[in-house]
A and B are shown apart, each in its own frame.
Chain A
Amino acid sequence: MNATTASKGTRVLGALALVGLALLLLYGLVLSPADGVSVAQATDGQRVGQGDYVRIMYVHVPTAIIAFLAFFVTVAGSVAYLVRRSEWWDVLAHASAELGAVLLFATLVTGALWGEPTWGTYWEWQDARLTTTAILFFLVLGYLAVRRLPLERDRRSRIAAAVGLLLGPTTIVCHYATTWWRTLHQGPTISRLDPQIEGEMLLALMIGMATFLVLYVWLTLHRFRVLWLENRVEDLGLDRALAERRAEAGGAAPAGGATPSGAPS
């Protein structure tokens, strides 16, 4: 039997994600223009901008924004779990945090690779946006580490939910870091009614946003199902272990009914 975590819905989402990826590659790498020429390549009379480095924006910004969205889903799932004690919310919070961690890792690396040619440095600890993003990344790694603690599931989920709540304020501080403090990192590009870019650049960025949103929903569904199955396997293991212990205790019991030495009473 070829069992997978796929369903008709996830197959449709997967197909949409592939179409989005193709469009993103087309617009991000081919159809959208370069932003002038980079300083290193500029000659007299040419407009100095980011050159082709601007194409990194079409993956860097969407991964960052969707990672933030993922963390808010984790916060919502954590709150709902603490209120309702529902496994569904607990698993959703976990699945979303995993996706957020991967996307934020991509954000950090693409940001560093973009920063070197445009700012002259891969990383700057004095920059509030970069530093709060790093804090957010380590916080979500901590959250995922808590999820692996060898504890009884309810207790582990409660601790994870408490840590998960911290992702909310940290994400907000990270998002507004460029507004609240003077930073090397540029301010918002599209989170205004008046976007700072236009034409094919804006279109490529919007395609990137839509594509990573679909990817996020698609992969969160798969991760949710995997984590749900992990819980069922864990339950099954516990049930089997209990049954074996009972069988051992019953089989080893002497005819007189006395409990053998070392057996659970």
Chain B
Amino acid sequence: MIVASTPWVSVGVCYALVFGSVGLLAWRSRQRGRRLAEQLPEDQRRWMGTSSET
């Protein structure tokens, strides 16, 4: 079993899994938001910011 060898393997898997799943959700949300924004006229992008704001 992956967790039997050393505590650090279990700890590492847990941290990677938690941060990985949160990071994946954030990345997918960003991609999905961009795709959706492209389908809408600018006046309906109520939640949109643009790169010029940053």
A interface, CB within 8 angstroms of B:
1-8, 11, 21, 25, 28-29, 38, 51-53, 55-56, 59-60, 63, 98-99, 102-103, 105-106, 109-110, 113-114, 116-117, 215, 219, 222-223, 225-226, 228-230, 232-233, 236
Contact = CB atoms under 8 A, between A and B. Distances in A.
Interface in B15-46: 15, 17-19, 21-22, 25-26, 29-30, 32-34, 36-40, 42, 44-46
Q: Provide the main secondary structure of the chain A interface.
A: helix
Q: Using C-beta atoms within 8 Å of the partner chain, give the interface range for chain B.
A: 35 or more
B17 A109 contact: yes
Q: Provide the main secondary structure of the chain B interface.
A: helix
B6 to A, nearest CB: 8
Contact of B13 (A103, A113, A232): A113
19 contacts: A1-B51, A2-B50, A3-B38, A3-B48, A4-B49, A6-B49, A25-B15, A28-B15, A53-B11, A106-B21, A109-B14, A116-B10, A215-B22, A219-B26, A222-B29, A222-B30, A226-B29, A226-B32, A233-B40
A225 B18 CA distance: 23
A11 B18 CA distance: 21
A110 B14 contact: yes
Contacts of B1: 116
A106 B37 CA distance: 30
